């Protein structure tokens, strides 16, 4: 060792490991942010949806994997329009995720049970679109980013 | 100025209608929102689906707009409109780095965010759609 050098030894003692609690906290906060955003999208989409019988707006549901209002929404939609064609419920695990699989992500589906929703949303060659889902999601984007930026705030 | 989406519509129409290869492929049939009843296919449709403003300063804003832009044809094969959809993407991707000015807005980017492929049936007759969802960002040139 050169004469003008010194050795510094650092000793790190972990007395309390709060990392598991922190991970749990962030997961809960994330879940809340996703659930709140899904509710906002559902509410806005229902307001923006074109109305004839009202069944389309009534059929917009949320499914976060643990809870879903699909059954209630479908019942209301069918009560408003007996002829409405109902699609199967979409579960979050069937939504393509790029974030590393079901253990690494939490997702919530905002879906439209009425089968004619897609024609209203995107239009057809002779029918202009009357979008309600994409518009609602776009409006919610900034709020979602703001909520997610706070998930680690203690 | 609040009717800025009509400027974006104008730009899309000019870009696609003005492209010789694309316009020739659909015989000039480029439409906003919907085609006239009885239109011959193939054709190109573009539609605004949603968007949001982002306030930059108290005088300026940037708008994010989502457009569905697609080629449409009768029949059940996508092959007939594959080249048209490809050309749409080439034409809209050619936006220069500094953007482009349409009347009183600057369109700064136009990027496809999601592909679109769909087949509908109407009275047993299939129609195919091929294209994408494009995010178009723009802002007014003057203060708002």
Q: Express each pLDDT in A64-117 by its tens digit.
A: 989 999 999 999 999 999 999 999 998 887 776 555 555 557 889 999 999 999
Given an 8 Å threshold on Cβ–Cβ distance, is B68 in contact with A137? no
Instruction: Compute the count of residue pairs across chains A and B with CB atoms less than 8 Å apart.
Output: 57
Any CB–CB contact under 8 A between A129 and chain B?
A: yes
Q: Is B123 left (phi over 0), alpha (psi -120 to 50) or beta?
A: left
Which of A128, A131, A139 is the closest to B34 by Cβ?
A: A128
Chain A positions touching B45 (Cβ under 8 A) are: 123, 125
Quote the percentage of chain B above a pLDDT of 90: 75
Given a cut of 90, is residue B135 above it in pLDDT? yes
Beta strands in chain B (DSSP E): 30-32, 43-55, 61-74, 100-102, 105-122, 125-140
Q: Is the ipTM of this complex over 0.85?
A: no
For residue range A53-67, list pLDDT tens digits in order: 999 999 999 999 899
Residue-averaged pLDDT of chain A: 89
Given an 8 Å threshold on Cβ–Cβ distance, is B51 in contact with A141? no
Average pLDDT for B82-107: 93
Contact in structure between B142 and B102 (CB atoms under 8 Å): no
At CB < 8 A and 24+ separation, what contacts does B10-14 make? B10/B102, B10/B103, B11/B100, B11/B102, B11/B107, B12/B46, B12/B67, B12/B69, B12/B92, B13/B46
Predicted pLDDT at A22: 87
Among chain B residues, the shortest Cα distance to A131 is held by B49
Among chain B residues, the shortest Cα distance to A138 is held by B51
């Amino acid at each position: 060792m050169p004469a003008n050098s010194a050795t510094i030894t650092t000793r790190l003692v972990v007395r309390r490991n709060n990392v598991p609690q922190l991970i749990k906290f962030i997961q809960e906060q994330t879940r809340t942010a996703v659930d709140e955003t899904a509710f906002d999208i559902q509410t806005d989409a229902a307001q923006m949806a074109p109305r004839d019988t009202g069944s389309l707006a009534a059929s917009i549901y949320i499914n976060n994997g643990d809870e879903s209002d699909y059954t209630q929404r479908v019942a209301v939609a069918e009560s408003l329009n007996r002829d409405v064609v109902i699609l199967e419920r979409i579960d979050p695990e069937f939504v393509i995720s790029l974030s590393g699989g079901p253990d690494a992500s939490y997702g919530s589906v905002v879906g439209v049970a009425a089968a004619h929703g897609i024609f209203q949303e995107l239009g057809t060659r002779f029918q202009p679109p009357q979008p309600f889902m994409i518009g609602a999601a776009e409006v919610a984007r900034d709020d979602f980013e703001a909520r997610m930026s706070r998930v680690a705030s203690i | 100025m609040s009717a800025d989406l009509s400027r974006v519509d104008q730009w899309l129409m000019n870009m696609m209608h003005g492209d010789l290869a694309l316009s020739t492929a659909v015989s000039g049939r480029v439409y906003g929102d919907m085609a006239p009843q009885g239109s011959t296919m193939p054709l190109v449709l573009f539609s605004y689906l949603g968007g949001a403003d982002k306030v930059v300063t108290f005088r300026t804003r940037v708008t994010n707009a989502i457009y569905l832009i697609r080629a449409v044809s009768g029949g059940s094969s996508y092959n007939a409109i594959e080249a048209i959809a490809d050309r749409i993407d080439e034409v809209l991707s050619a936006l220069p780095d500094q953007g482009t000015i349409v009347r009183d807005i600057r369109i700064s980017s136009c990027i496809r965010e999601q592909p679109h492929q769909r087949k509908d049936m109407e009275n047993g007759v299939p129609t195919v759609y091929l294209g994408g969802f494009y995010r178009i960002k723009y802002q007014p040139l003057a203060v708002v």
